[in-house]
Structure 1
Amino acid sequence: MKPHEMDELFARHCAAEAANDVPAILDTLTDDVEHDVVGDPAGVLYDRAAIGERYKAVFDALHEEKFESVHRYYGEDFFVDESHWYGTVTGMFLGIPADGRRIDYRILHVCEVRDGRISRENVWLDVAAVVQQLTA
C-alpha cells in the first residue's frame, strides 16, 4: 500500500473508534488480524468477536474528545502512528476508578497492512501518564 492509502485506512479506523462503531472498526481489519494492546490482561487477540469486546470495554471506560496524529512513519507494508489522545474517563480504566476525570496521553500504533486492511495492530499507551492523572 502507498502511504496515502494507509492514511485513508487509518483515518477510517480512527473515525470508527471515535464513533464507537465496532462493526466499522472490524471492517478495517483483516479476517486473520493480530490485535495486541500491550499490557492488556487479555493478551494478543486473534478472534474478531473478542477484539470487538475489547473495543466495547474501552468505549465503556473512555469518551474520546480529540485524537491527533503527531508523526507517522511508513514502510512497504506497515505504518507507525504516534498520536495524542484527549478525553474523559467514564468508568474504570486500567483498574482505576476515575468517573468523569479528563485525561490525555500519548499513544503509538504499529500496524501492518495487507489487501487494504490492517493485518496487525499493536497499540502502546503511555500508562505512566494515565496512572499519574487518574491517581492525582
Structure 2
Amino acid sequence: MSARTISATVEMSVPAAEAFRYLCDPRNRPEWQSSLLSVEVPADEEPHLGQTWRERTAVGVRPHMETTVLTPFRVWAERGHWRGVSATLELHFTERPGGCRVRATGEVAGRGLWSLPAGAAGLMASAAIAADLRKAGRILEASGGA
C-alpha cells in the first residue's frame, strides 16, 4: 500500500462554530468542494458521529464516506473508500481574532493497482483542499454564516 499525506491551513473570517456547522454537513459539500457533483444523504439528516453517505465526483469516483470524529466546533473527521483507494480527512477549528483557522490533515492510500491513482490524487489533494476551504470561507462570509 502506498500513501500520501494531506495538509492545508486556511483562515476564515467567520467564527469556528459557523465554519464547523457548515463544513461538517455532507449536504453542503457540493457547494464548496470542487470535485463533488452530489452527495447521497437524507435531506433531513443532521450531522452525527457515524453518519454515512455516498459521494458522486466529477471524475466518476463514488466513495462511501463516514464521519469518524465529531467534537463540536473543534474537530471533525471522515474516512472514505472506493475500490482500492482509501482516504481520511480531519478538520481542526481554532478561534482567532476576527474568525477562525481551519487546519486539514489526512491521507490518501491505495492498494495494488490502485496505488498509482491514489498517489496521484494525494499529490494534488493538499492544494485542492486548501482551495475548497477558501471557497467555503467565501461562501460563509457572503451568507453571513451557516
Q: Report which structure shows greater RCO (CA 8 Å, sep ≥6).
A: 2
Same fold (TM over 0.5): no
